[in-house]
A = this chain, B = another copy of it.
């Protein structure tokens, strides 16, 4: 509960993120998480009531962080610049936090339905925000596509899949990659700025 306690909890979350990302939630044991910190398995339980609560803490944090990146982007920017910045930051987050992203996307089915509801709502807001950006670009003529929904999904697929393959030998700089992805995003929606 104190500041010390929350730092201990953060260390456990970090270790669990690594272990869950490597083996999957069900494939990872509480003993393996504790081993990562040199603790016994029982040491986790003063901080998290169960393994599933630990997963939820990781997952909700990751989704909230990624959404916060999108929400940082100023909505009064011109459509093309707004989309570019959204995709750049969203891709950047997934490259910088690829272990977190893997856990957050991979183990949704392992959560209680109450916890899953919280995650689904965060994902809904993420998709909605990306769709709004595409829609306003279509409305003001900056983008040249018909269906904002499918293009928003495509943009999110593109970025969130980064954490599956990143880093690779050829692409190990999060910043360079996210600039490339911002270019790709503008082409996906038929943006005209780069022509």
Residues in A lying within 8 Å of B, measured CB to CB:
22-27, 105-107, 109-110, 147, 149-151, 153-154, 157-158, 160-162, 164-165, 170-171, 177, 180-181, 184, 187-188, 190
Contact = CB atoms under 8 A, between A and B. Distances in A.
A157 B95 CA distance: 14
A177 B147 CA distance: 11
Instruction: Give the most central of A110, A154, A190: most B CB within 10 Å.
Output: A154
A24 B171 CA distance: 29
Interface SS, A side? helix
Contacts of A177: 150
B153 A181 contact: no
Nearest to A171: B150
B27 A110 contact: yes
16 contacts: A24-B107, A24-B110, A25-B26, A25-B27, A27-B109, A105-B164, A106-B106, A150-B170, A150-B180, A151-B184, A153-B171, A157-B161, A157-B162, A158-B158, A187-B188, A187-B190
B170 A154 contact: no
Given A161-B161, A187-B190, A188-B188, A22 B109 contact: yes
Contacts of A180: 147, 150
